[in-house]
Chain A
Amino acid sequence: MTSPILSIENLTIGLPAGGDRANAVEDVSLAVRPGEILCVVGESGSGKSMTASAVMGLLPKGLPVRSGRIMFEGNDLLTLPAETFRALRGARLGMVFQEPMTALNPLMRVGDQIGEAFRVHGEKGDIRSKVLALLEDVRLPDPPSIIGAYPFRLSGGQRQRVMIAMALALGPSVLIADEPTTALDVTTQMQILRLIRGLQERRGTGVLFITHDFGVVAEIADQVAVMQHGRVVEHGEAAQVLNAPQHPYTRALTAAVPHGRARPAETHAPEPVLALSGVEKSFRRGGGLFRRGSPVQAVADASFTLVKGETLGLVGESGSGKSTLARCVVRLAQPEKGEILFHGTDLLPLGRAAMQPYRARIQMVFQDPYASLNPRRRVGDIIAEGPVTHGVPRDKALARALELLALVQLDAGAMERFPHEFSGGQRQRIGIARAIALEPELLIADEPVSALDVSVQAQILDLLDGIRKRLGLTMLFITHDLRVAAQVCDRIAVMQRGRIVEIGPTAKVFGAPEHPYTRELLDAIPGKAWTPPLEAA
């Protein structure tokens, strides 16, 4: 075994007084060897990103390093003078961040931003041709035109390629990647993972890869370290940690990963609740007083039927129109064409007043548990607001809200508190309670677990499934995560560029996909060769 190129030894980083724990990172030791990928995996708040920031010397002010060393190429990074450290950053140590949409300077051409990496490290000569070669390396189409483009012209995946090109520009010996694919679509994620893998193998770079996704770990890791509450709880070879986890936390985490096996099919009475036919919705982009914008077809000719008690999964990548379609059903968006039959009544021509009784019967759970609750209102009022609007007396609605909180496993004290006092998972529980307060027949869940940590995700999925069974709900479940879809849906509809390209029973769509795009999506599931081990009782 070669000696490590980067080794973090007993690193402890403090938190400001009054935090939920004394140290953000406690006694962490990790080693990255040349040509090897070390995945640090953990849930939000586990200290994994903080560890990466410490290596780059990019810790936020006010977080002191209490003890430990970070040895890199013979120096302790923590004791280096600022200027010496700066010269290492970008040259010997490269870093790629999570959010490609905001990680590039919006006012600077892509070529200049990559070229800057060369210039600030004193490279002379033909920088343009070096940048072109790099863009070629990260397989961006048409490098000469990309070099002069501003970041906003590029998609998320393309921007992440630019970031990788920038990080690898001067051939660093260590690349730090902090959740580099988390914000990307599943097919793009796979391309970026392969790209990092390929470049890293060819150049012999050591990679410190931060992620929360065990699928990604299974896809690319050589070594895995699992972090919880600022500590490394398990550390070892990838195969070992993934398939035979030792620490209870690792076992719980891997068990919570959606297994992706289709659930046993349930039989439902053929009583249609919702029937869509030929729904079309387009938006106009740009335009003004003198010019109409160019139309963008968000949903094209969408048709499907949902029978009572059934869960239909709507899967697709961002921009595929799945959320727009859901918004059309609840009439948050107005389709141009088609029929949306709810128990045989077409909802589309209904006016505001005529729609009102149906609003209670169709409810929605939204993706972002942080943004979808009014921060100035108490949880009890948030849950009771719907019924009160529909004519239920206030005290009765509040009493009902209390019951609902119990149903979503929150304690009664939550009634008087504000949304910001809850964690993401708890807020999503509130969101669910709010939706079912109106006793809907049809629940539309728009990416309800995408913003949550994997263990919380599993809890919310269980909760949703329990409530669905208990209340006999029919559900339209929107997700980009195929593993999740397989677990909760009876049938799956795959959307691509506004069209439903394939629809069928879950087992069939996963087992024998017919449309090439469905196959592409399934191929892109990270770590699909790995099956999470069942938790030993």
Chain B
Amino acid sequence: MLFDKVDWQQIGQAVLDTLAMLGGSLFFTVLFGLPLGTLLFLTSKNQLLEQRFAYSTLSFLLNILRSIPFIILLILLMPLTTLLMGVSLGVRGVIPPLVIGTTAFFARLVETALREVDRGATDASVARGASIPQIVFRALLPEALPGIIAAITITAVVLVDYTAMSGAIGGGGIGDLAIRYGYQRFQTEIMIITVLLLIVLVQILQASGNRLVAHFTH
């Protein structure tokens, strides 16, 4: 049989590693990206904190981060990762580059999601005498929630892609397995299994994202 030589335990571990990397980096990406995206939106033209200099600086920095290919970012960030996590390898070792690589992307998506909110929500809140934090937390973010969930879903799918790539520098997980066994040792069956697993993972993420978006769209 084709799959006789497959070490299922190893694959199970790889799946767990991937999920850990995904969960950990998604958490931090949202943690940093949501405020950044909101700030980006608020400082943009005609918004509550319109600040041309702040907006263009922030925008410029995020663009720089987004223009570096992820595989290069992984290598560039190795010293920083070692400093932060004590290691530059393994699940813990790839979380910092994953977070940095996707935060800028996610922040842009948040900015877009907020831009989709009807301007009337802001206008009405201002006219009702709401403060800026009140407008952000009670009106803008709740209104943008479906858009933000969609952004998280897209980011999660991108992260699956990136975790696989991080296998190249010894990040572990499904991608690591695919490269070490499927590619370097010509074990096609491992390659097939890893690809199938990635497909299933992405489908699950997208489907649950869609469900949540539908649930929060009123």
Do A and B assemble together? no
Q: List the interface of chain B (C-beta within 8 A of A).
A: none
Q: List the interface of chain A (C-beta within 8 A of B).
A: none
